[in-house]
Chain A
Amino acid sequence: MATQALTTTVRRRGRALAGTGGRTAALFLVPFFAVFAIAMIAPVIYSLVLSFHSQQKSGLGFGEAKTVFVGLENYVQVFQSETFVEGIARLGLYCLIYIPCMVGGAVAFALLLDATVAKARKLFQLLVFLPHAVPGVIAALIWAYLYTPGISPLVQALQGGGIQINFLDSHMVLPSIVNIGVWEWTGYNVIILFTALQAVPREILEAARVDGAGEIRAAVSIKFPLILPALSVIMLFTIIGTLQLFTEPSIISKATASVTSTWVPNLWAYDAAFIRHNLNQAAAASIIIAGLAAVLSLAVTRLSSRMNKS
């Protein structure tokens, strides 16, 4: 009897607990999913719908436009657009220069920081992080000033040293924008990597030292492999962030004609939506950019999980 009573209460309590758990979870999750649905899912679905339609006019175009279903035509037009493809290629080139420079720089800085004496660490950490505290728009404005010939003290100093360089001509402008990105983001990633380095077990490093490894050997053979997971997270965020490149080129475009209004895919989408008034094409371009981000992110996660396993 007693045991039976006990088991029922336990069962009841268990059921009750499960019930409250579900309700509590729902209570906490509903606000998130509500906002997520309105601000994320709905626009995505709306964009998908937009991307399969087109506003068609006829004759001179002075009349109401008709919305017609065009299937994949917008996507075809986006891919056929020379400027969009050029933008993708340019973004690829940007990644090729930017990612090694920024990530390489961040790893080097983090390892250096880890190797310095404790007192100097805090100071250098702050100094390295400082550029990231400057908002992206302001950073781009400052660099635009530093790049403009005739105004920039930098260009002037280089000229004084006999170096003629136009940071804003159509060949140099890409590396110039890469430089802004590197300046802005290296410090941020140094902090992430440095935190990962702090978690490296000290006994392993001591063991290495006992075995005769110097600072450099320890950094390359012990610390670096142990921060690889953090590095793959950084790669992921960097790739996604790079695909969203918009602010810097759009600010620099005010200072030079070398940055066109369709310079990178995101600018292309903006131009399509708000300058050429073709929302449907803009939607298609946005879906393509999002798809590209998904594919690249997947590739990076696959690659890094394989590397972590081996």
Chain B
Amino acid sequence: MKRRHLFAGVAGLAASTLLLAACGTGPTPAAAPTPTEDPSGSITFWSSLAGMDKVAEAFNASQDKIKVSFETIPNGANGGYAKLSTAITAGNGPDVATIEYPQLPQFVSNSQVIPLDGLINKAETVDKLTDETKALVQFGEKTYALPYDAAPMLMWYRQDMLAKAGVEVPTTWDEFEQAGKKLKAVAPDSYLASFNPNEVAASAGLAWQAGAKWFGTEGDSWKVGVNDEATQKVATYWQKLIDQKIVKVTQAYSDEWSLDLANSTVVGVLGANWSATGIQKRTEASGQKGQWIAAEMPTWGNESGAFYGGSSFNVTKSSKNPAAAAKFVEFLTTNQDAIKARGNTGSAFLAFPGLTPVAQKAYDASYFGNDIYEVFTKAYGTITPGWQWGPNWDITNTALKDAYGKLTTGGTIHDAVDTAQDATVAGLKQAGLAVKE
């Protein structure tokens, strides 16, 4: 009896844990992409972005050669990439996928997305992009995705609270700290912003703005600088803000975070253009209409900025109809009808020229106290050049997020970036990549 229990128990455990690891199978080689002038057939499209079901519908209605079936998947933080990556490896992924810029290189590196060269009309798509956005989707001379949104990093403030503290919108990080102190003087329980351990891409953005280069290539090897000089400067600064209780450490999008915004405990959000709907949703019921404004991120003295988030569309290796998939990707990223179809789903800022005005027209920004799109455009013009994402962002993402876990009990951002640096280098080396520290 006992033996049987033992066996059943152990076997059950083994199965549950092993199944996790065992569901990937060998890669199925994709058919060599052949450019087709007039592709047809059925394709599938996965995305976690709002309104994409309507965009797929609009595409289906606009022509009758290609039929797109759309499926909503969870976003990255909720396992979307795990699902996508596993499905592609198992050979039953979608034809067209949505991947954010930080994650794109690892999908490229794992050969899970295919180059679009030869499948898309380059002159009408890639060639019209800015260098900063091109750099996000091109690796080794090949184009692996078409960029959808280009999300400039921003600060959102409660203008009534800034006025109460008697400060202007901070333009430098020094002014930001002073503003925080003045806010504390008039509202001791308030914070100027929150620091979000689960939003490592925001930390990356802050470092990017300061001129850090977390990833780069030198000849045939990667150079990793998660704790480089510029990052150290940013780490010291934000640690100071945490220590002075100018910013509060909370998980972004958690219940606590939402409540803090609603009850004016936190009066600023370090975010991007896409933060607008989230802020509105969480603060509207508390009567904060007209109080929130978008502002360019404070700087270290000279004009600078970063992208924070943003997605690209790709054709996966499991696509059996890459030509049709690429056609749909072109529609998604460059066609005004695709943007119109989304409707009033968010304050998108798009990479392809001429599309943002369409999105702006569709979006109802009346909740906000200033012209947010004007701020987006300004911030978009100040992106610090030279940033590159690494071949396995999730190693860095996890390591830094985990190290931030100690922030509430005496850990520092300094220790965290050091830990993340070591973990990144070790992780890449384990995968056989050449790394220079």
Contact = CB atoms under 8 A, between A and B. Distances in A.
Interface of A: 39-40, 43-44, 46-47, 50, 54-65, 77, 83, 145, 148-151, 166, 169-171, 232-233, 236-237, 240, 243-244, 254-262, 266, 269-279, 281-283, 285-287, 289-290, 293-294, 297-298, 301, 304-305
A287 B22 CA distance: 11
Given A151-B255, A256-B251, A293-B9, A57 B17 contact: no
Contacts of A59: 220-221, 433-434
Contact of B17 (A54, A150, A289, A298): A289
A35 to B, nearest CB: 11
A150 B259 contact: yes
Contacts of B17: 244, 266, 269, 286, 289-290
Contacts of B85: 274, 277
A57 B427 CA distance: 12
Contact of B5 (A50, A236, A271, A281): A236
A254 B254 contact: yes
Interface stretch (B61-69, B103-111, B320-328, B347-355): B103-111
A305 B1 CA distance: 12
Given A166-B408, A301-B6, A274 B79 contact: yes
A60 B405 contact: no
Interface string B252-274: 00111001100001000000000
B305 interface: no
Contacts of A255: 251, 254-256
B360 interface: no
B13 A60 contact: no
B18 A258 contact: no
Interface stretch (B128-136, B173-181, B293-301, B391-399): B391-399
Nearest to A170: B409
B407 interface: yes
Q: Which of B85, B140, B408, B434 has the most CB of A within 10 A?
A: B408
B233 interface: no
A244 B13 contact: yes
A283 B394 CA distance: 19
Given A61-B431, A255-B254, A290-B14, 14 more contacts: A60-B220, A60-B222, A151-B256, A170-B405, A257-B402, A258-B405, A259-B405, A269-B17, A269-B20, A278-B431, A286-B18, A289-B17, A297-B10, A301-B3
Contact of B9 (A40, A47, A77, A237): A237
17 contacts: A47-B21, A58-B434, A60-B140, A61-B391, A151-B255, A255-B254, A256-B251, A258-B408, A262-B402, A269-B20, A270-B20, A273-B20, A274-B81, A277-B106, A290-B14, A293-B10, A304-B2
Tell me what chain A mostly uses at the interface: helix, strand, loop, or mixed: helix
Contact of B14 (A40, A62, A273, A304): A40
B394 A148 contact: no
B9 A62 contact: no
Given A60-B221, A62-B140, A258-B405, A274 B434 contact: no
A283 B9 contact: no
Tell me what chain B mostly uses at the interface: helix, strand, loop, or mixed: helix
Contacts of A290: 10, 13-14, 17-18
A240 B19 CA distance: 17
A73 to B, nearest CB: 9
A57 B432 contact: yes
Nearest first, the 8 A-B pairs at minimum CB distance are A274-B82, A257-B197, A260-B402, A56-B432, A290-B14, A286-B17, A282-B21, A283-B21
A269 B21 contact: yes
B6 A298 contact: yes
Given A258-B405, A282-B20, A44 B256 contact: no
B392 A277 contact: yes
A46 B431 contact: no
B14 A44 contact: yes
B266 to A, nearest CB: 11
B6 A236 contact: yes
B404 interface: yes
Contacts of A40: 11, 14-15
A170 B16 CA distance: 28
A240 B13 contact: yes
Contact of B405 (A39, A65, A260): A260
B118 interface: no
Given A57-B433, A244-B17, A276-B427, A151 B259 contact: yes
B348 to A, nearest CB: 26
B67 to A, nearest CB: 31
Interface string B87-118: 00000000000000000001011110000000
Contact of B402 (A62, A83, A145, A266): A83
B94 to A, nearest CB: 17
Contacts of A283: 18, 21-22
Contacts of A50: 21-22
Nearest to A51: B21
Nearest to A308: B2
Contacts of B220: 59-60
Given A58-B434, A283-B22, A261 B398 contact: yes
A300 B10 CA distance: 13
B2 A301 contact: yes
A26 to B, nearest CB: 20
A59 B432 CA distance: 8
